[in-house]
């Protein structure tokens, strides 16, 4: 590396942040043996990190550890409730990562991390050593926050916040709802995976109910005072589901001052802090969340339950040589979404390859775009890009993105088409 480019690298945010955390111990690695990067979790974050690391650094040894042979994506999973999506359509495998990008795939889960030895231990008993570890384990649920609710009761009161059996279970309950029955959707407080998800879910359930059980009702019992894309959702609900009238299919209630604290499972009733009770024929209880268990158990989360990182490199603020991306990491104000996980993964891959290749890191930026369906063929969106502020923390870039500016029929229909295209492109970019 020439003196000039080395100086440029050192001036760049990446160098200062990495050196700040790692001292100079990085530099001796550069021309020695092939570095080994282990990635834990093959979701949007982990798959993208594996692929882009390979594209940026053809000679690295890259191992992806994921227990499932097929990944079931959550984006699009609310479409199951409208009858417009099947689980099969949400499923993808890892053969392109393995064959096209030469990723060493291990079908197992990581049971523990030994940061001192820079090793991970697998459930199958093997140990693997890494130079750098990227963790993208997604979320875990905080089962202890609603009295009377538990993981086993989620078989009766599904959260459907991880796509799969839970989605099918909730859909089954929706289909068997009494004609004039009530569905309760109980979202968690911020931050959680996919902030607009509960409201898209209400929209697509209402889409189905309108056609099959028009006397039914969905009550959203929300611990927040407001929610993502609220004005756009409410406008769509007025247009399609009678929102604001006595016969509305959807009602939204803010319980910010009186949140749900307990579940009476036998009575199919949720109970608020002041003792108010609300019965539902179907209860979609979405518990508060934390970083995935492996991150929590390895002590990589702080008291918030999420993993603090240096945004430039995604390196953990708690443990050196470990990088955390996706839902598990604290990248506030970037929301927890598949698009954001994909963007964080690319920045992390770029930072690591600049580090291994001793090249300059361009000024980092991140992007999030989130489409939500209001009906089977109408959508709304929000999009923002993020940069480092002068104080070197993450901030929304000025004059970037925003929410859908038009709500006429034609514009929302066009947006539904863009949503499909964006999702296909995201999947392609992450797994192919
Ligand atoms: C209903 C719903 C709708 C959504 N819609 C959208 C949308 O429209 N657009 C959008 O951008 N986002 C959407 N999201 C959010 C999106 O699904 C997540 O933000 C995204 O999946 C995060 O990616 P991730 O890689 O961090 O975690 P995940 O996708 O959860 O992947 C984590 C992976 O890690 C693996 N893993 C966990 N622990 C271990 C271990 N110990 N060892 C090895 N592997 C492990 C898991 O098996 C899993 O495959 C939605 C979410 C929900 C619930």
Q: Nearest residue CA, atom 29 of ligand 1?
A: 43
Whats the size of the chain, residue-wise?
432
Q: What does the pLDDT look like over 165-179, one tens digit per residue? A: 999 999 999 999 999
Please give the DSSP secondary-structure letter assigned to residue 77.
T
Give the pLDDT confidence score for residue 33 in this predicted structure.
55
What are the E-state strand segments in 132-198?
132-135, 139-141, 182-186
Q: Is 71 in the pocket of ligand 1 (CB under 6 A)?
A: yes
Question: Is residue 80 within 8 Å of 86, Cβ to Cβ?
Answer: yes
Q: What is the mean pLDDT of residues 152-173?
A: 98
Ligand 1 pocket check: which of 41, 108, 110 to mutate, most ligand atoms within 8 Å of Cβ?
A: 41
Q: What is the mean pLDDT of residues 185-193?
A: 97
Q: Is 158 in the pocket of ligand 1 (CB under 6 A)?
A: no
Q: Nearest residue CA, atom 35 of ligand 1?
A: 41
What one-character-per-residue DSSP string does 231-300 give?
Answer: HHHHHHHHHHH-TTSTT-SEEEEE-TTS-EEEEETTTTEEEETT--EEE-SEEEE---EEE-HHHHHTT-
Residue 47 CA: nearest ligand 1 atom is 25
Q: How far is the CA of 138 from the centre of ligand 1 (A)?
A: 5
Q: Is 94 in the pocket of ligand 1 (CB under 6 A)?
A: no
CATH for the stretch 143-287+370-431: 3.50.50.60
Alpha carbons 297 and 285: distance in angstroms, whole number: 25
Smallest CA-to-CA distance from 280 within 180, 410, 154, 141 is with 180
Segment among 17-31, 108-122, 156-170, 217-231 with least mean pLDDT: 17-31
Residue 162 CA: nearest ligand 1 atom is 53
Q: What is the pTM for the complete model shown?
A: 0.93
Q: How far is the CA of 3 from the centre of ligand 1 (A)?
A: 42
Tell me: pLDDT of 24 over 50: no
Tell me: pLDDT of 3 over 80: no
Give the pLDDT confidence score for residue 11 in this predicted structure.
40
Give the pLDDT confidence score for residue 360 in this predicted structure.
87
Question: Is residue 35 within 8 Å of 27, Cβ to Cβ?
Answer: no
Q: Where are the domains positioned within the chain?
A: 3-67+107-140+290-362, 143-287+370-431
Give the pLDDT confidence score for residue 72 in this predicted structure.
98
Instruction: Report, at the CATH architecture level, how domain 3-67+107-140+290-362 is classified.
Output: 3-Layer(bba) Sandwich (3.50)
Q: Count the Cβ atoms, other than its own, within 10 Å of residue 215.
A: 11
Q: Is 370 in the pocket of ligand 1 (CB under 6 A)?
A: yes
Domains 3-67+107-140+290-362 and 143-287+370-431 share a fold: yes
Q: Nearest residue CA, atom 19 of ligand 1?
A: 337
Q: Is 194 in the pocket of ligand 1 (CB under 6 A)?
A: yes
Q: How far is the CA of 336 from the centre of ligand 1 (A)?
A: 9
Q: Is 294 in the pocket of ligand 1 (CB under 6 A)?
A: yes
Q: What is the mean pLDDT of residues 341-370?
A: 93
Q: What does the pLDDT look like over 34-63, one tens digit per residue? A: 899 999 999 999 999 999 999 999 999 999
Alpha carbons 67 and 124: distance in angstroms, whole number: 11
Quote the crossing angle between the two packed helices 338-357 and 13-22, to the nearest 10°: 80
Task: Give CA angle at 152 (146, 154), nearest 5°.
Answer: 65
Q: What does the pLDDT look like over 376-426, one tens digit per residue? A: 999 999 999 999 988 788 888 876 788 998 889 999 999 999 999 999 999
Give the pLDDT confidence score for residue 271 in this predicted structure.
98
């Amino acid at each position: 590396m020439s003196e000039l480019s080395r100086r440029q690298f050192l001036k760049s945010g990446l160098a200062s942040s990495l050196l700040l955390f790692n001292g100079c111990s990085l530099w001796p690695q550069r021309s020695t043996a092939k570095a080994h990067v282990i990635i834990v979790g093959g979701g949007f974050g982990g798959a993208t990190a594996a692929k882009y690391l390979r594209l940026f650094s053809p000679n690295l040894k890259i191992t992806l550890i994921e227990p499932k042979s097929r990944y079931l994506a959550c984006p699009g999973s609310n479409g199951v409730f409208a009858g417009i999506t099947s689980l099969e359509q949400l499923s993808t495998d890892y053969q392109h990562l393995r064959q096209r990008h030469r990723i060493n795939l291990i079908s197992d889960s990581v049971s523990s991390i030994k940061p001192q030895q820079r090793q991970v231990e697998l459930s199958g008993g093997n140990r693997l050593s890494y130079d750098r570890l990227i963790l993208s384990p997604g979320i875990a649920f905080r089962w202890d926050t609603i009295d009377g609710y538990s993981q086993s009761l989620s078989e009766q009161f599904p959260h459907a916040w991880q796509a799969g059996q839970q989605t099918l279970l909730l859909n089954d309950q929706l289909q068997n709802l009494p004609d004039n029955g009530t569905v309760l959707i109980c979202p968690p407080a911020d931050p959680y995976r996919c902030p607009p998800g509960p409201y898209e879910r209400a929209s697509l359930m209402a889409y189905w109910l309108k056609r099959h059980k028009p006397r039914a009702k969905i009550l959203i019992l929300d611990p927040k005072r407001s929610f993502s894309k609220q004005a756009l959702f409410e406008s769509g609900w007025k247009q399609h589901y009678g929102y604001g009238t006595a016969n509305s299919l959807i009602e939204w209630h803010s319980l910010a001052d009186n949140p749900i604290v307990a579940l009476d499972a036998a009575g199919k009733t949720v109970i608020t802090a002041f003792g108010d009770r609300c019965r539902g024929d179907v209860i979609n209880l979405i518990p508060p969340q934390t970083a995935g268990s492996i991150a929590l158990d390895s002590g990589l989360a702080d008291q918030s339950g999420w993993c603090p990182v240096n945004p430039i490199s995604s390196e953990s603020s708690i443990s050196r040589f470990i990088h955390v991306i996706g839902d598990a990491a604290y990248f506030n104000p970037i929301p927890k979404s598949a698009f954001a996980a994909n963007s964080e993964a690319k920045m992390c891959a770029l930072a690591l390859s600049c580090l291994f290749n001793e090249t300059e890191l361009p000024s980092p930026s991140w992007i999030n775009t989130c489409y939500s369906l209001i009906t089977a063929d109408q959508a709304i969106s929000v999009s923002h890009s993020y940069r480092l502020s002068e104080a070197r923390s993450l901030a929304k870039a000025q004059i970037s993105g925003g929410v859908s500016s038009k709500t006429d029929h034609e514009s929302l229909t066009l947006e539904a088409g863009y949503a499909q295209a964006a999702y296909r492109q995201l999947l392609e970019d992450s797994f192919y």
